[in-house]
Amino acid sequence: MTLLELGIDFEPVEIALGKDNKTEWYLSINPNGTVPTIKHGETIVYESSVVNEYLCEVFDSREAALMPDESAARARIRTLILRCDAKFVKLAYSYLSHKRQDDPAKDDQLQMQLIEELSFLDKTISKAGGTYFLGEKVSLVDLTYLPFFERQIVALSAWKNFELKNRNLPYLEKWIDSMFGRNSFIKTKSEPEQIKELYSLFLGKDYFKKVGIAE
């Protein structure tokens, strides 16, 4: 999405998880064996947040800049991006990975914590003016959160019977609708069936807990 939003020409290389990402070739460019990785000239960069900032810095003349110039706004972007992994991702994947039959009270608690974070995100968008996380312009914060929403909307509905709609999250719902309509999303999105297939594999192996995304 970042490459498309910045209008950068690129050649995508698909990495089939569980097959291509632990090969000698791929580990030689990204020792973590995770996606995404970019190669720009001789430079190789991995870790989504580092990749995103690298692209913004290198292509900073683009009109559609996703990272503002002012230090205060840059600090705000980084704080919200760190919060994505530390709170939303952790809570959503912990709830998704938890088996209700093992401990229903814990399941309720995990669901409540996730709802609290969703409500924080809804208020953050509302305070910024109701469109994007930082105001009227899309930024790296929106691009960081969106793919997790894309996957969690499908996964939480399939495995936890949990829907985002009708939870008094009007700004978040509007944000999801408008982000889902962006060209950069339409061109990169996964089909719900693909998400379910991959997550069924991941959940079957307790992958999210093993890699520390879920508690």
Q: Applying CB under 6 A, which residues contact ligand GSH?
A: 17, 21, 33-35, 47-48, 211
The span from the CA of 144 to the CA of 49, in Å, is: 8
Q: How far is the CB of 20 from ligand GSH (least distance, A)?
A: 10
- Which lies closer to ligand GSH via its Cβ, residue 14 or residue 70? 14
Consecutive H or E run containing 46: strand 43-46
Burial 72-88 (b: 16+ CB within 10 A, else e): eebebbeebbebbeebb
- Distance from the Cα of residue 68 to its chain's centroid: 20
Residue 21: CB minimum distance to ligand GSH, A? 5
Closer CB to ligand GSH, residue 47 or residue 117?
A: 47
Locate 126 and state its tokens. Answer: 């509302």
Decide whether 51 or 164 has the Cβ nearer to ligand GSH. Answer: 51
Work out how close the CB of 92 gets to ligand GSH at its nearest, in angstroms, rounded to a whole number: 13
Nearer to ligand GSH, 48 or 184 (CB): 48
Beta carbon of residue 93, minimum distance to ligand GSH (angstroms, whole number): 11
Pairwise CA distance, residues 179 & 145, whole Å: 10
Closest listed residue to residue 13, CA positions, set 23, 90, 151: 23
As a whole number of angstroms, the distance between CA 131 and CA 113 comes to 24
Of residues 122 and 139, the one with the C-beta less far from ligand GSH: 139
Q: How far is the CB of 118 from ligand GSH (least distance, A)?
A: 20
